[in-house]
Structure 1
C-alpha cells in the first residue's frame, strides 16, 4: 500500500457508529476496545477468529468472521487496516455509500484528542518504549490510556482506556500515517531505512520523521546515539520545542553509563536534569533496552512523576509479548521469541542473547537463531544486512519469506538470506519447509544454548513446538 492520504482528524465523539475492517489486528483491536469502553457502538470483521475478537465481543462489539458488504449495516465511520486491499467488499461498499473511511492512525488520533498525548516513534524500539512508559505510569498511579503495537505481559492487553489525563501511543511510520497524530510529547528512538516499498529511498524516511517533528506540541525526546534521531533535535529546537537527548553520548541530557548484563535483565546508571545520578534495574535484557527505558524515564519525569517511582515502574516491567519473550525450556535449552524483522533489530536481540547465554552458561552456551524474513521487498533490500546480523549467532536456520501483504518476487526467498550469513556453511540451514524446523533445532541444540525465533510472521508459532521437540528428545 502506498503512503496514506493524510486527513484532518475527527474527534471520537463525532465518529458515530464505527466499523473496523481487519478488527483483529493488534492496533485495530486496541482502538476498538477503547471506543467500546467510551460507549461507542463498534462492529468489525476479520479473516479469522482469535482471542482478541472474543474479548471485543464480550465488551459489546459485533464481530464477523469473513468480509461481506452486508456487515457494514448502519455504520457511520469505517476504519481500514493497512492490510486491507482495494478489492475488499466492505471497503467497496463503504466508498459506494459515501461513508467516512479513515485509516487506523486517524482513529488513534481521534481517541487521543483531548488528552495529554505522548507518541513513541522510531524505526525500532517503539513498542517496548511505549510499553515501558505505560507500565511506569501505571505503577505511579497515573492510570494512562494506552495503545501499543503489542501486548503487555503485565495486563495481556495492547490497549486500554485509563482514567488519567495521559494517553501513550505507539506511532507507526510504516505507511506515513503517524503524521496524523499531533502529540504534546514525542519520542524518536531512531531513524533508519525501512519500509522502502512505501518510501522509495532512505531520504524519504528521514523526511517523514522531520514532518512528524512538525506535529509535536511541546517536548521532543530523541536518542543522541542514533544519527537519524539526533538530527531531529535541531529541527525541534527551530520549531520552539523543548528538546531532550538521551543515550550514551557524553553530551546527552539523560546520559546512560555502566550498562551491565544481569541474567535476563540489565543494570545501568543514568544522569539527567533534576534527577542526579540513578541506578536503573530492568528485567529485560540488552543495551538497547537500557536506551528504551531511559527514553521512558525522561518522558515520565517531564510528566511530573517522581523519579524514584519511575525507577520502580521500570523495574516492574516484565516485557511485551514477542519482544524476547520466553517460550519455555527443555533439556537445558531456553527458547525465546522475538518480533525482530529488520537487520538492526536482529543484531540487537542476538547481542542481548549472547549476554544472556554468557550469564547462565559462560563460554559453553551458544545462540541458535531461527529467522523468518518478512516481506519480499524488505528481504530484497536488506539480504546482505540480514546475513551480517545472523552472523552474531552460532547457528542460523533461515525459513522462507513470510509475504504478508506482498506477492512473491522472482529470486527472493529465504535462500537469498541464508547465502549471506557470515558463518561456516555447516552452521547455516535454509529450511523452506517450516514443519522441519523443530526437529532441526532439537538436533543442533545442546544444554546451555539459547534458541531465538525471530520475525514478524508466523515463526512465532514455532517456539512451543521447539520446546516440545526438545522435551521429547
Structure 2
C-alpha cells in the first residue's frame, strides 16, 4: 500500500460470513488477492471498481462478478461488504449495506479471520519488499501447495490462490491493520519512516510492527535493518515469541555468505539455522531481492521444511510483477519496471539498475501521495540523484490530501542538487517522448512509481508509436 487515509477500523461484531462477499474496490491489490482466495474456496464473490482492466478480467476468469462503478444495487445479496482504507465512507455501496443491515468489514478483518482459521499461517510485514518475500516463500514451499495472498502478482499468475491449510499472507502496515494479525510466524523485513498520513515517524512504525510481531509464535526478522532490529529487541524483552534473524550481519541465524550478481539476478549462499551451507538462484536483480529470499528461506526453515527443498523452490521463482521486472529491450536499451516509491527503495533500485548495463540510468518517476511528497519529497529527490537523467511526472493521489495536491518541486530541486538532470513532464505521453529522446544503446530505462508510469514501458517498446532513439 502506498498512500491511504487514516481511518478508524471498527472490529466486526462477530465472525464474518464469507460465502457471498462483495468487495468495494475489488481491483485493488489487497482486495483482489482476497477475492481470488475466497473464489477459489467456492465463495460467490462480487465486487465493483472505478477502473476496470487486467485485474478485473483476471477476477472474472476466476469466477468473480465484477461491476464497473459503485452503485447501491451491487450489494444486494451480499453476506458481507468489504472495504479498504482508500474507500470513502460516503461510498454508496457502504451506505446501502449499512442501511440494509448487511455487515460491513474492513479488508484487514477478512484477512485476520482467514489467518486465524488456517492450520498454519505466516504473515510478511515491513515497509519494503513484502510482496517479493511473500511470493518467494510461497514458491519455496510450493510442494505444500500453500494458500497465499499478496499485494502484487508473481510473473506468471495472479496475486492470490487457494491451496492447503498453510496460509502465507502479506500484511499491510500503512493503516496499522497489520497489528490485527496473529500468525504462527511473523516476518518483519524492515521498519522505515513511511506513511506520514498515518505514522509520526520510524518509531511509530516500529511500535506497530512490534505489536504485530509479539503476537506470533516465531518472529523471523532482519538483522541488517535498524528498525527491524529494534522490533526484535522489543519482542525479546517480553513474551515467549521465538526470534530468528536473517541477513549479512555477523551472528544472524540465517547468514548471507555471498551473493554473486549476474545479468539475470544473483547466486546466493547462506549459512542456515542448523549450520547447513545452502545455495540458490534469485532471478530478480538487486540486493533487496537477495534479502527477501533470505527471509523466505528462514521462514521456510521455521516451518520445518528441508533446506534443499526450499533452495529448489526459490531457484524456480520467476519474480514479481513491477519489482525490477524486465519489460523488454529494443535497440540496445533495456526497459525495467520498478514499484519503488519510497526513498530507500528508490535508491536501492537505481543501484541495481546501474549494475545491469554499462550505459546511463534514465528514471521516469511518478510520485504518489501529496502528503508523502510533502514529507519525503526532498529525500525522494536525493535518492533520484543517483540516476543520470530523471523524467519527473506529476504527483498522483490515490486519496485526496487535506492540504490539497502537491507539486514535485522539492523532488526536482533535490535531484538536481544531487547531480541528476531533471525533465518535468505533464503526463505519460510526454514522459514517453522525453525518455525516447534521451535513451541510447547501453542505457537502462527505469520506469518507477505506482500509477500510470507502469504503462510507460509498453509505449517505449512499440516502434510505430514512439521508437527509442538510436545514436
Please state if 1:297 is matched with 2:281.
no
Whole-angstrom CA distance in 2 between matches of 1:247 and 1:262: 20
The 8 Å contact of residues 245 and 252 in structure 1, kept in 2 or not, is answered as yes
- Structure 2 counterparts to residues 197-346 of structure 1, below 5 A: 197-216=197-216, 218-237=217-236, 238-346=238-346
The structural deviation recorded for 1:52 is: 2.8
Q: TM-score when scaled to structure 1?
A: 0.93
The 8 Å contact of residues 213 and 235 in structure 1, kept in 2 or not, is answered as no
Aligned length: 461
- Structure 2 counterparts to residues 1-400 of structure 1, below 5 A: 1-5=5-9, 7=11, 11=15, 14-112=17-115, 113-138=117-142, 141-154=143-156, 156-162=157-163, 164-216=164-216, 218-237=217-236, 238-357=238-357, 361=358, 365-400=359-394
The structural deviation recorded for 1:126 is: 0.6
**CA 1:115–1:9: 2 relative to 1, 3 Å:** farther
The structural deviation recorded for 1:114 is: 2.6
SS in 2 for 1:296: helix
Q: Deviations over 1:347-367 (max 9, x none)?
A: 11111111122xxx3xxx111
The 8 Å contact of residues 10 and 110 in structure 1, kept in 2 or not, is answered as no
The 8 Å contact of residues 151 and 320 in structure 1, kept in 2 or not, is answered as yes
SS in 2 for 1:324: strand
Q: Deviations over 1:52-90 (max 9, x none)?
A: 323333443332211111111122211002221122101
The structural deviation recorded for 1:200 is: 3.3
| Root-mean-square deviation (Å) | 2.0
- Judging by fraction of residues, say which structure has more helix: 1
The answer for the alignment partner of 2:411 in structure 1 is: 417
The 8 Å contact of residues 31 and 111 in structure 1, kept in 2 or not, is answered as no
Q: Deviations over 1:157-198 (max 9, x none)?
A: 100001x23110000001011122111001100001111111
Q: Deviations over 1:400-429 (max 9, x none)?
A: 101111248568312331111046777221
**CA 1:38–1:272: 2 relative to 1, 3 Å:** same
SS in 1 for 2:198: helix
The 8 Å contact of residues 438 and 469 in structure 2, kept in 1 or not, is answered as no
Which one of 459, 465, 473 corresponds to residue 459 of structure 2?
465
Q: Deviations over 1:242-273 (max 9, x none)?
A: 10111111111111132222113012321122
Q: Deviations over 1:14-60 (max 9, x none)?
A: 33421111111122122112212222222211113223323333443
SS in 1 for 2:409: helix
SS in 2 for 1:325: strand
The 8 Å contact of residues 9 and 106 in structure 2, kept in 1 or not, is answered as no
The 8 Å contact of residues 9 and 180 in structure 1, kept in 2 or not, is answered as no
SS in 1 for 2:141: helix
The structural deviation recorded for 1:395 is: 1.2
**CA 1:62–1:287: 2 relative to 1, 3 Å:** closer
The structural deviation recorded for 1:11 is: 4.8
The 8 Å contact of residues 18 and 41 in structure 1, kept in 2 or not, is answered as yes
For structure 2, the 5+ residue unaligned runs are none
For structure 1, the 5+ residue unaligned runs are none
The structural deviation recorded for 1:94 is: 1.5
The 8 Å contact of residues 8 and 180 in structure 1, kept in 2 or not, is answered as no
Whole-angstrom CA distance in 1 between matches of 2:339 and 2:208: 23
**CA 1:55–1:411: 2 relative to 1, 3 Å:** closer
**CA 1:221–1:83: 2 relative to 1, 3 Å:** same
Whole-angstrom CA distance in 2 between matches of 1:240 and 1:461: 47
SS in 1 for 2:415: coil
**CA 1:9–1:166: 2 relative to 1, 3 Å:** farther
The 8 Å contact of residues 118 and 167 in structure 2, kept in 1 or not, is answered as no
